Amino acid sequence: MSAKQSATKGPQEPLAAGTEVTYLEAIRQGILREMDGSPEVFLIGEDIGTYGGAFRLTAGFLERYGAERVIDTPISESGFVGCAIGAAMMGMRPVVEMQFIDFIACAFNQIVNFAAKNHYRWGQAVPMVIRGPSGGNVHGSAFHSQNPEGYFLHAPGIKIVAPATVEDAFGLIRSAIRDPNPVLFFEHKYLYRRIKGTLPEGEGLVPIGRARVVREGTDLSVITYAAMLHTALEAAERLAAEEGIEIEVIDLRTLKPLDDETLVASVKKTGRALVLTEEQKTGSVAGEVAARIAENCFAWLDGPVQRFCCPDTPVPYSPPLEEHYRPNVERLCERIKRLANY
């Protein structure tokens, strides 16, 4: 079978603004435009060329850009991340794919001790993106369902992005590729082909470091990101209709740096805050967000800041167990009602 036959071919030209696309296609289109616009941008990772990626996100890229810009690698995350760091230091803009984001742990030393620290050590920019599928609800079990963003929250010099919508996926991947710092780009695999939106006019850039108020409310703030945004919005609509509780929903979009201004303004308005994430609770992004709210909004709080996360266990494979493990709409509604009535 030829390379062209083995890959699911995608569009060979960028799609027009206004085209309805999936979350996965939005990321494809963002990368496509950045590669067209800058010869310094190249892709590197396992099975991204001939095979087109485990989720077919890079299908057709090898034919369009050639093997010098779409580089298949051995199964060595530390090795190809190290290659990307060196290339970035020499003026290139690598986009590294982790076939599943879980395996980013194999490159932890390269990321936190080399990519993240180079600018601090000697002023050397490292403009690179490490992207890949994260999250659960696809029955991938403990090695293919993780949310490892909390591991990297502690490392200075790294930016962390986790889009929840088609428009943000498109705009943030473009901003990440243009950023002079290393950016970890977490794509929730459950969203890949389940949500749709339209490609924006123009460049459609979304600034890194800015949260978004997705739903206005007065009674309680729910702060979240990635697939949990959709859980929060469903719960908010249900509570408004059934209980008259109006929830303000904040999509963080960027986990590092956090948008303190948007968080503080929302919680000062509502007086109550619940942080909803899909990570394990201990040492989580949710804990950092909750701490900032407690520090900056204590005088405005009418109840304790709450976290609704996953238990401190590996992600289970069994569908019923995974459903119980992850926050869902029913349990979120119960948590919100208890906090609203505190």
Residue numbers annotated as active site: 144
Query: Around 322, how many Cα atoms within 13 Å sit in the side-chain half-sphere?
Result: 16
DSSP 312: S
Q: Which residues pair with 96 in a beta bridge?
A: 44, 130
Distance CA 184, CA 176 (A): 8
Distance CA 221, CA 115 (A): 35
Distance CA 204, CA 224 (A): 22
Distance CA 117, CA 105 (A): 17
**Which one, of 74, 31, 292, lies nearest residue 172 by Cα?**
31
**Which one, of 142, 139, 129, lies nearest residue 182 by Cα?**
129
**Which one, of 23, 99, 18, lies nearest residue 54 by Cα?**
99
Please, which residues have CB within 8 angstroms of residue 236's CB and are 6 or more apart in sequence? 215, 217, 222, 246, 247, 249
Does residue 99 contact residue 44 with C-beta atoms inside 8 Å? no
Helix (H, G, I), strand (E, B) or coil at 60: coil
Helix axes 166-178, 23-37, angle to 10 degrees: 30
DSSP 205: -
**Which one, of 234, 198, 243, lies nearest residue 214 by Cα?**
234
